[in-house]
């Protein structure tokens, strides 16, 4: 964040709250004209501070009511096995997030499916097909308390 000034941070905060906000609206809120705001946004995009703009969807309306955090332990650890596991996980549409973690497990997956039957099918027919998984421990989400996509600034 060394390269960012206060105006850049304000712009990033506003875009995190609503990526659909117009340049004109941002300019009004931070008391700059639209051209410098536009140029700053383009610079932030080019420098990689802004990766992309997305729509946040309602998973329940899209019939993905069951969210599961699945902790994975690999049987063996090698560069080739790790790369193959990552490649396999990236191909699974039900896995919306995957983290390589430290501690008792190797990976943490966030999985979204329709219901328990769909999760059982996912575990048996998708995860079960991935070689070198030693164990998978599932934690089922009963309710979402806080969900944010914002990076604290």
Structure token digits, residue 63: 């019939």
How confident is the model over 118-129, as pLDDT tens digits? 999 999 999 999
CATH number of 66-140: 3.30.70.920
CATH number of 6-46: 1.10.10.10
User: What percentage of the chain exceeds 90 in pLDDT?
Assistant: 93
* pLDDT (mean) for 2-19: 94
pLDDT band at 1 (very low <50, low <70, confident <90, very high): low
Structure token digits, residue 16: 């995190």
- Residue 50: phi and psi, rounded to 5, are -105, 115
List where CATH 3.30.70.920 sits in the chain.
Answer: 66-140
List where CATH 1.10.10.10 sits in the chain.
Answer: 6-46
What is the reported pLDDT for 123? 97
Cα 5 to its chain centre, rounded Å, is 26
Q: Does 62 have pLDDT greater than 80? A: yes
How confident is the model over 12-54, as pLDDT tens digits? 999 999 999 999 999 999 999 999 999 999 999 999 999 999 9
């Amino acid at each position: 964040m060394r390269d960012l000034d206060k105006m850049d941070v304000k712009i990033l905060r506003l875009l995190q709250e609503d990526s659909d906000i117009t340049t004109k609206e941002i300019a009004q809120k931070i008391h700059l004209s639209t051209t410098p705001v536009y140029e700053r946004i383009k610079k932030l995009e080019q420098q990689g501070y802004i990766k992309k703009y997305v729509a946040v969807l309602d998973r329940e309306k899209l019939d993905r009511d069951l969210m599961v955090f699945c902790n994975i332990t690999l049987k063996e650890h090698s560069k080739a096995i790790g790369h193959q596991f990552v490649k396999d996980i990236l191909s699974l549409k039900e896995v919306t997030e995957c983290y390589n973690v430290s501690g008792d497990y190797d990976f943490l997956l966030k999985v979204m499916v329709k219901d328990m039957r769909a999760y059982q099918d996912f575990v048996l027919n998708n995860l079960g097909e991935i070689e070198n998984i030693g164990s998978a421990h599932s934690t089922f989400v009963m309710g979402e308390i806080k969900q944010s996509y914002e990076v604290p600034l």
